[in-house]
Structure 1
Amino acid sequence: MLDHLTANDYERSCTSHDLDVVVDAIAAVAATRKRARSLLDVGCGYGGIAATMRDQLGIPDAHGVDIDPEVISEARAKGISAERVDVEREPLPFDADTFDLVTCFGMLDYLPWFDGAVADMSRVLVPGGLIAVALPNLGSWHNRLSLLLGYQPRDIEFCSRRAVGLAPYYRSERYRVPVGHMHTATTRAFREFMNLMGFTEVRTLPLSPSNVHTRQPLRAIDSVLGRFASTSRRFLYLGNKTKAPAELTDDGWWRPKP
């Protein structure tokens, strides 16, 4: 099932370590509707995830965009029509109402604001189309435990030199290297946000990627609390596009005036 995933995919994306769960969840929803003909993976990386979804879901037309120019050639080699796009600053290079399925796995948390990128994903998604988003969970049990003990949640970085203030259970030096996570959301906040952006929730599932190896007793905690989307380490949101995003009515003092 995961033949398209390379070492690069596994290194780049946590979702690649949970991809069977993600594909099964999308397939269950897709089985109740007209067959999807087109897919866009926003933040496609090396393309293994998009290629796997294309084959497993029987979607003939698969596209991807990513900010990193080094990933594009491998994604194209896997049959993905991939382009370099900075979704924070550039619109998606597609017409409105183009894709039946838009996916975005572990990319939004690298942006200062989610709404501009998600609004553009909504634009290119057909009415009634499906969006699938995976993110680190701000309300995860390990973030709650870190805050309770006075430590910094790993998924929120504010120093580009080193991930600072982490709990002792992040012993490995690789956890101390900043990866660009600016912030993320709880499942409750993300559901409310997606409703604001014109989506109706279909399902929100817990994700517990296998690339993170925890020791006892943390492993035992994860085996229990990781079963719930509200406390799992990551989550997968599935939603239908049902209306246009809410209008922006307040510029806010923090935004530069035109």
Structure 2
Amino acid sequence: MTTSTTTPARTGLRDFYEDPTVPVASGTPRSLRQARMLADVLGPATAGAKTVLDIGCGDGTAAATAAPLLAGHRLIGVDWSQDALRRAHAHMPYTVRGELTDGGLPFATGAADAVLFSEVVEHLVDPDGALDEIRRVLRPGGHLMLSTPNLAAWYNRALLLAGVQPVFSEVSLRAIHGRPGREVVGHLRLYTARALREFVTASGFEVVRLAGAPFHGVPRPLWPLDRLACAAPSFSSILLLHARRT
């Protein structure tokens, strides 16, 4: 069965991501789990405040969820969208425009202790260049906290067996074709747990931990199953990866 939900035509990829109506996050549970992982790694700010860059911060809602767990640390929102930065400033005191190109982030080499990279990599044309730039701004041993939808989520495995386009994957920026759901979110690349590990390792990082998180878009009757799947990250809806810069 093929479904199609249309959205207004846009002139290009940048216009698509500038649209504030486009959903940009997989929900509060993911933000909380990721923030807890980072807080455990950084420790309390009483031992020394750390600089954390939230790269691709969007409207700042994920940072607002994480902020209480990162109290005392310096959280800086980074995005290329001026509209997103204006909205993010309501949730975080420091915001700055930057791009994930060579030298596109306005920070010195090794300036950051940690980078939050949430729900961004799946939207990128050049993820290799993006991780190169993130690696540049991280100090040696600095932490990367990356989250992204899981192509091999438990329900996607069943959908593929039935010949249905997996959730999170998209063939158009204008409409949904061949998969469940109603929202076009602009995913260009998707990762399995194995692919994400290999990709991040090849980019000069050491993977420390891979965890799972639930997805708010799963139908409510299936929420218990989705949370259960988090125990095996390769089956979970969202992949949460912690890596260190080598």
Distance 1:204 1:80 in 2: 30
Report the equivalent of 2:217: 212
From 134, 144, 157, the equivalent of 1:144 is 157
Letter in 1 for 2:166: P
Deviation at 1:205, TM superposition (A): 0.6
Deviations 1:16-51 (A, max 9, x none): 343222222222222399645201011101223334
Contact map agreement 2:42 2:50 (CA 8 A) in 1:
no
Contact map agreement 1:38 1:59 (CA 8 A) in 2:
no
From 39, 45, 48, the equivalent of 2:61 is 48
Contact map agreement 1:157 1:183 (CA 8 A) in 2:
no
Task: Mark the CA change 1:71 to 1:54 in structure 2 (over 3 Å): closer, same or farther.
Answer: same
3-state SS, counterpart of residue 89 of structure 2: helix
Distance 1:212 1:100 in 2: 32
Distance 2:43 2:194 in 1: 27
From 202, 205, 213, the equivalent of 1:199 is 205
Letter in 1 for 2:167: R
Letter in 1 for 2:236: S
Distance 2:121 2:205 in 1: 16
Is it true that 1:112 corresponds to 2:110 in the alignment? no
Letter in 2 for 1:20: L
Distance 2:241 2:91 in 1: 26
Contact map agreement 2:214 2:230 (CA 8 A) in 1:
yes
Is it true that 1:229 corresponds to 2:233 in the alignment? yes
Identity rate of aligned residues, in percent?
31
Contact map agreement 2:77 2:92 (CA 8 A) in 1:
no
Distance 2:31 2:124 in 1: 23
Deviations 1:158-184 (A, max 9, x none): 212212111xxx3xxxx2332101121
Q: Which of the pair has the greater relative contact order for Cα pairs under 8 Å at 6+ separation?
A: 2
Distance 2:197 2:163 in 1: 27
Q: Which runs of 5+ in 1 are unaligned?
A: 1-7, 243-258
Contact map agreement 1:155 1:183 (CA 8 A) in 2:
no
For structure 1, which segment, 53-62 or 194-203, has the greater mean C-alpha deviation from structure 2 after superposition?
53-62
Letter in 2 for 1:98: A
After TM superposition, the score normalised by the length of structure 2 is 0.81
Deviation at 1:224, TM superposition (A): 3.5
Q: In the comparison of the two structures, how many residue pairs are matched?
A: 225
Contact map agreement 2:54 2:78 (CA 8 A) in 1:
yes
Report the equivalent of 1:127: 140
Report the equivalent of 1:75: 88
3-state SS, counterpart of residue 113 of structure 2: strand
Deviation at 1:60, TM superposition (A): 3.6
Is it true that 1:240 corresponds to 2:244 in the alignment? yes
From 6, 24, 33, the equivalent of 1:12 is 24
Deviation at 1:59, TM superposition (A): 4.1
Letter in 2 for 1:238: H
Contact map agreement 2:100 2:130 (CA 8 A) in 1:
yes
Report the equivalent of 1:22: 34
Contact map agreement 2:211 2:230 (CA 8 A) in 1:
no
Report the equivalent of 1:250: none
After TM superposition, the score normalised by the length of structure 1 is 0.78
Task: Mark the CA change 1:49 to 1:138 in structure 2 (over 3 Å): closer, same or farther.
Answer: same
Report the equivalent of 1:181: 187
Deviations 1:200-249 (A, max 9, x none): 1111111003x224255x4454343332110000010001111xxxxxxx
Contact map agreement 1:109 1:183 (CA 8 A) in 2:
yes
Q: CA RMSD in A?
A: 2.6
Deviation at 1:124, TM superposition (A): 0.2
Contact map agreement 1:40 1:102 (CA 8 A) in 2:
yes
Distance 2:31 2:56 in 1: 15
